[in-house]
Every structure is written in C-alpha cells, then in structure tokens.
Amino acid sequence: MFLRQITDSSLAQNAYLIGCQRSGEAIVIDPERDLDRYFDLAKENGLRITAVAETHIHADYLSGARELMERHGALAYLSEEGGPDWQFEWAKSHANARFLNDGDTFRVGNIEFKALLTPGHTPEHMSYLVTDMGGGAVEPIAFLTGDFIFVGDVGRPDLLESAAGQAGVMEPSARTLYSSLRATADLPGHLQILPAHGAGSACGKALGAIANSVLGYERKFNPAFRQALTDSEDAFVRDILQGQPEPPRYFARMKRDNRMGPALLPNACLPQPKRIGADQLESWIGKNERVILDLRSDRAAFAARHVKGSLFAPMPGGKLSVAAGSYVDEEPGILLLLEDEAQLDEAVRQLIRIGLDRVEAWILADEALSVVDAVDSYPRITTRDLQAGCTVLDVRGADEFAAGHVVGAKNIAYTRIAARFDKLPSASPLYVHCAGGLRAAIATAYLASRGREVVHVDGAYGEIPAALRS
C-alpha cells in the first residue's frame, strides 16, 4: 500500500493519496481544486487516480472532488448521512457518484475503506478505516479522521452557527461530537490518525504541528478527546465551545459551494493572469468591480506607501488566504502586487482554493509604487505610544479580548470586520491593534480601503501602557 499526506501549508489542510501498488489504482481523500499536484505524485509512483472521497462538506476550502469526478472520470465516495440539508447536491444522479452510509465499505484495488459516521463537526461527517487487504492485513492500519479527530484536538462543533449562520445548533452539535468521540472506544489503539488539518487551521483551537499520530496516544494526551472519554457531557460542551477562533467570512460561501457544487476550473487550468505595466494601474484603482491585493511581507512599508485602496495580504506571512477570504467577494477581478514573479503560481493556487477565481492581472510592487499619483499611506504608531482617549478597535479573538483589553475598546476579530462593518465605532480615527501587529495591519489596510480614517497600532499587546488596560 502506498500512502502519502499532501499538505497545503497556507490552509494547514491535508489531503491523502492512497494507492494499491499491485493494481496501480489510487484514491485521493479531501482534495483541493488544483489537482495537478495529486496527479504528479501518483504518476511518480506508478499509480493512476481512479477514485476520490470526501470526509465532509468543507468550510475552509473548495473541494476538488467534483473536478476529479466530472473531468477525470473518478468514482466519488460521498456521505449520504446528515439529513436533507447536508447532502452533496452536485453529485446526485451522476453515474460516478457512490453514496455511503455508516458502516459501508468500498475498495480501491486491494485496499478496503470502511465509512464510519462521526458527526459533530458537521452532521454528515464520515471517517474512514483503511485496511491493506493486499498485504494480508485483517485489521485496519489507519483512521482517516477528516475534521473529527486532529493531533492534539478535535473538530470544532460551532461552525454551522458561527460561520454558516444556523442559529441554535452550536450546543447540540457539541453534544453530538461528544457521543461520536465516545463511540470510538472499541477501535484499536494502534490506528494511525490521519487528520485533514494541522496547526494553523481555523477548524480547531489547539491543533498540533505533528503530521499524524496514533489513536491510543490521542486518547491519553489529546485534551479534548480525553475529556470526552472521561468527563461529563456538560463539561465537554462547555470547554469545546470556549475559545474557538472567529472563522473567516468566506467559510459560509465554502459550505454553500461545496454542497451545491464547486465551479469547474475553466479548461481544467489555473487562471493565467496577465502582466500589466504601470501605465495600466489607474484602471484598477477605485473600481468596485476590481480588487488589489498587495502580497508584500513588510507591514511598515505598506503603511508608508501602498497603492490606493489596496489590501494588505502578505503571502510570506501566510495570511493571503485568510485576508482575501475575509475581505474579498468572488465577483471582483483581482490584481496581484508581487514582490517577485516567483510568487505568482502559489498566489493563484491559494486564491482558487477559496473560490477567488478571477485573478486577472499582476504587477511587481516596486513598479506599481513608482506611479506617484497612485500611492497612499496611513499613520502607524507603536503600542507603547497609544494614549488615553483614542477610539480603539481590537481585532484579536474574543477569548484574547476577554483575557484583557484596552479600556473602552471595541472588539471585532479581523476575520469578521467585513461581515460586521456596520458595528464599527463611528468616531475617527480608529486606532487598530492586535497581539503583535500583523492582524491589525491586515485589518487597518481593509478599513482604509473602505474610506475609514485609521492608525495602525503596531507591536506587542503587553507594551500598551498598563494604565490603559483592564
């Protein structure tokens, strides 16, 4: 059996290529839309991708399952559980779709996959036990857990409410998750845990940075999992719902699109944005149907000099996906300002993975900033320089804010500002801070692009004068 984890570090997302080396067949679990990576890996190892499976309807990226099934003829194994609101509508009536219920099995070559219903994160969530029948095994070697069990954490049960807007489902989902975790008690402890995410994902609050684990270890040392096995349901529900990070605004759109059907990439190819010159920059400024993303890493340089109306989405800092996903809708065309042309391919991939397909043009940042009339700036101070009487916007998470904050500050997480724009303080200027400066820089740029008078308060939260903090 061949097994390889393919990680998208920008979203901390894991897909898996699993192949039967005897038959040459392979399956991809939870793929993203840019499929060339999976095909290249399969070819390098003498495999051909004949199937795809999903653990659930994802909220943090667009799935590549439809692309694999409709463009490449793969069989798609999808959950039929969860009720009428949690079906893969795009796959219904398709000849290559195979819908699974709890306990169903299927094979790819000599490898058996057994679907286990593991709801809580989402109602339809499936995990898969993997058994290498061709190798003579009679017990599974691995447990593909999707967003059910992570290394060091478990899937968050609040997204249907906090991201998708379904009121009143957060607590019932947490109770369902508690039951699902306890239902794993009879599974063998040797099982490899192969999760869909690692550290940095917004699909949990304490995910570990280790790529995989084993079930017995997680039972002992994964705090949330251990609590589900040993503590009361009420205690688990209370703790699992506390401190979850505010999801980016685009999560609701991903849920919708992955349910109804992610758009197929035109001609099965990545967008090919054209290079523009400085003389064409003016046509991108101040246009509602166009967005400019500045991918530079230096937030101080951005504050001092940036193209008017551009958003700060630092690719080297790993914030391109979350910044674009929090502030950019799917309709506008996108212009990328790059530090180097070598960034282009990865930037395009990160954007199409969250459904931002209209990447139309790019220009080097230095060239764009040479157009004097196109340049803008906003003030930036250190956290030490913040003074009493300022109108403060704290863009940290709610749990960080609850642990301590500037007296009188308004708290809206930077991932939710576009969704709660009407809740911002009306007074100007807005002094925007976070815990270290990066999130505040991203939020400040967005607010400036929307016409707000802003000051970026850059630096460590602990260096804000103690007299100003509660």
The token pair that represents 130 in the structure block: 């993997």
β-strand pairing of 410-411 with 111-117 = unpaired
Q: CA of 38: how far to CAs of 27, 30, 176, 180, 361, in Å?
A: 10, 11, 34, 31, 27
Which residue type occupies 87? Q
Q: Yes or no: say if 111 and 130 are a contact pair by the CB < 8 Å rule.
A: yes
Q: What is the structure's pLDDT at 438?
A: 97
CA 463 to chain centre: 31
From the list 285, 465, 270, the residue with the least C-alpha distance to 383 is: 465
The token pair that represents 358 in the structure block: 């209209």
Q: Rounded to whole angstroms, how far apart are CA atoms 28 and 42?
A: 10
| Token pair 């009306």 in the structure block, residue | 426
Q: Which residues contact 100 (CB under 8 A, 6 or more apart)?
A: 77, 78, 79, 80, 81, 106, 115, 126
Q: What is the structure's pLDDT at 165?
A: 78
CA 162 to chain centre: 14
**Strands, DSSP E only, in 257-315?**
274-275, 290-294, 306-307, 311-312
Strand, coil or helix: 122: coil
Q: Within a 10 A sphere around the Cβ of 168, how many other Cβ atoms?
A: 8
Q: Yes or no: say if 406 and 466 are a contact pair by the CB < 8 Å rule.
A: no
Alpha helices, H only, 74-206: 159-162, 170-182
**Strands, DSSP E only, in 187-332?**
192-195, 213-214, 274-275, 290-294, 306-307, 311-312
- Determine whether 186 is exposed, middle or buried from the number of CB atoms within 10 Å of its CB (0-12, 13-18, 19+): exposed
From the list 348, 305, 332, 302, the residue with the least C-alpha distance to 442 is: 302
Q: Rounded to whole angstroms, how far apart are CA atoms 392 and 50?
A: 54
| Cα dihedral sign, 162-414-318-362 | positive
β-strand pairing of 380-382 with 391-394 = unpaired
pTM: predicted TM-score of the whole model, two decimal places: 0.95
- Peptide bond just before 429 cis, omega within 30 deg: yes
Q: Within a 10 A sphere around the Cβ of 382, how many other Cβ atoms?
A: 14
Strand, coil or helix: 325: helix
Residue 107 has, within 13 A of its CA and on its CB side, a CA count of 10
Q: Per DSSP, what are the bridge partners of residue 455? A: 431
From the list 152, 269, 166, 261, the residue with the least C-alpha distance to 217 is: 152
Q: Rounded to whole angstroms, how far apart are CA atoms 348 and 362?
A: 10
Q: Yes or no: say if 35 and 62 are a contact pair by the CB < 8 Å rule.
A: no
Q: What is the structure's pLDDT at 459?
A: 98
What is Dmax (Cα atoms) for the chain? 72
- Determine whether 16 is exposed, middle or buried from the number of CB atoms within 10 Å of its CB (0-12, 13-18, 19+): buried
Q: What is the structure's pLDDT at 164?
A: 76
From the list 85, 160, 83, the residue with the least C-alpha distance to 120 is: 160
DSSP string covering 380-415, please?
EEEGGG--TT-EEEE-S-HHHHHH--BTT-EE--TT
Count helices and strands (H / E) in the chain: 14, 24
What pLDDT tens digit does each residue of the chain (470 aa) get? Answer: 999 999 999 999 999 999 999 999 999 999 999 999 999 999 999 999 999 999 999 999 999 999 999 999 999 999 999 999 999 999 999 999 999 999 999 999 999 999 999 999 999 999 999 999 998 999 999 999 999 999 999 999 999 888 877 888 999 999 999 999 999 999 999 999 999 999 989 888 889 999 999 999 999 999 999 999 999 999 999 999 999 999 999 999 999 999 999 999 998 899 999 999 999 999 999 998 999 999 999 999 999 999 999 999 999 888 999 999 999 999 999 999 999 999 999 999 999 999 999 999 999 999 999 999 999 999 999 999 999 999 999 999 999 999 999 999 999 999 999 999 999 999 999 999 999 999 999 999 999 999 999 999 999 999 999 999 99
**Residues making up the chain, counted from first to last:** 470
DSSP state letter for 140: -
| Token pair 């679907």 in the structure block, residue | 115
Q: What is the structure's pLDDT at 269?
A: 92
Domains of the chain: 2-255 (3.60.15.10), 270-376 (3.40.250.10), 380-468 (3.40.250.10)
